[in-house]
Amino acid sequence: MGVDKKILVIPGDGIGQEVTAWGQKVLVTIAENYKHNFVFEEGIMGHVAIEATGNPLPDETLEKARKSDAILFGAIGHAKYDNDPSLKVRPEQGLLKIRKELGLYANLRPIKLFDELLEASSIKPEILRGSDILFFRELTGDVYFGEKKRTEDRNTASDLMIYHRYEVERIARKAYEAARTRRKKLCSVDKANVLEASRLWREVVQEIAKEYPDVETEHMFIDNAAMQLIKDPKRFDVVVTGNLFGDILTDEASQIAGSMGMLASASIGDGAGFYEPIHGSAHDIAGKGIANPLASILSVALMLDISFGLKNESQRVIKAVEATLKQGYRTMDIANKHTDNHLVMGTDAMGAKVLENLN
């Protein structure tokens, strides 16, 4: 029996518009092959929304998001804002607001290495082989949402790092539940030797750990975690951490997978899930047709599994990506010296190959 789902597609800025098109095409193909009914709507957010409406998250887009079963997102950002930090209205405000409004407090980022991409990473293959990490990054607290101040003379600035007990409790439980389905190991990352917010974080995780005696719990300071992630990534199974540390660690972990263009993510809470590749808008390559669509396609696999409960369909998408890589096809970001030049292709050609392997 097929399912009926409403999906909001927000391509966003830069290469987001190019790669999201292939994520949507994969969803259309899955719907056709498995007799599901996926209804799509489109919304704007980020720089394109500011240009069109003056608002990085227009009310119309937010309303569509609230009525959707899941959201497929591309990326936000533009060099204009990077070059002028004084601008008050910024694309990232739209992303922070939609997370807050939809209660998306947990960001899941699976770091699973395809064997075919061992040579694409700058890390030695023998260190990487077998790495499989699931990050849980808290999304609605920390310095990103704490009070921000700048003195009148503009010479001093501060950002409040703040966490409430309930914020730590709810993401810790989700991380522990996931650990139970994997290798039953959880590493909580903080800076409890220096930061009071981290001391609260560690206290709460220690309390929640008692509810999951079957899961081995480890606490690690952020600086050590950053080192161990590169030194011995296989030691990690499930990692749970705050907003700031999670942002940094998951970008670092992109080197395990060979490229940011390979990493999918899911932002979840108590309502519709929000699915996106972790790469940015990459305006330096936007419009050139060379962006890697695989992270967007793998984000669709997460959507099918987490939001829709369609595990077979999710695995089918992952296997189609794996088959495409086994056939030797690469975009520029995951090509290496051993890749035949005629197998290096652009966004559309790579997306088309995945669709071929999906059928």
* 37-42 and 273-277 strand pairing: unpaired
Q: 100, 115, 166, 223: which is the annotated catalytic residue?
A: 223
What's phi and psi for 221, nearest 5 deg?
Answer: -70, 150
Q: How far apart are CA 261 and CA 295, in angstroms?
A: 5
Query: Considering just the CA atoms, what is the radius of gyration of the chain in Å?
Result: 20
Q: 105, 144, 163, 275: which is the annotated catalytic residue?
A: 144
* 106-112 and 132-138 strand pairing: antiparallel
* 264-268 and 273-277 strand pairing: antiparallel
Does residue 144 carry a catalytic annotation?
yes
135 forms beta bridges with: 109, 239
Q: 159, 184, 185, 247: which is the annotated catalytic residue?
A: 247
Q: Is 124 left (phi over 0), alpha (psi -120 to 50) or beta?
A: beta
* 106-112 and 264-268 strand pairing: antiparallel
Residue 140: is it exposed, middle or buried by C-beta count within 10 angstroms (0-12/13-18/19+)?
buried
Does residue 251 carry a catalytic annotation?
yes
Q: What is the DSSP letter of 237?
A: S
Query: How many CB atoms within 10 Å of residue 210?
Result: 8
* 37-42 and 4-12 strand pairing: parallel
Q: What is the DSSP letter of 92?
A: H
The candidate with the shortest Cα–Cα distance to 109, out of 294, 239, 297, 208, is 239
Q: 112, 132, 159, 251: which is the annotated catalytic residue?
A: 251
Q: How far apart are CA 322 and CA 204, in angstroms?
A: 39
Could you give the angle at the alpha carbon of 109 between the alpha carbons of 107 and 114, nearest 5°?
Answer: 170
* 157-159 and 4-12 strand pairing: unpaired
Q: How far apart are CA 266 and CA 275, in angstroms?
A: 5
Catalytic machinery residues? 144, 191, 223, 247, 251
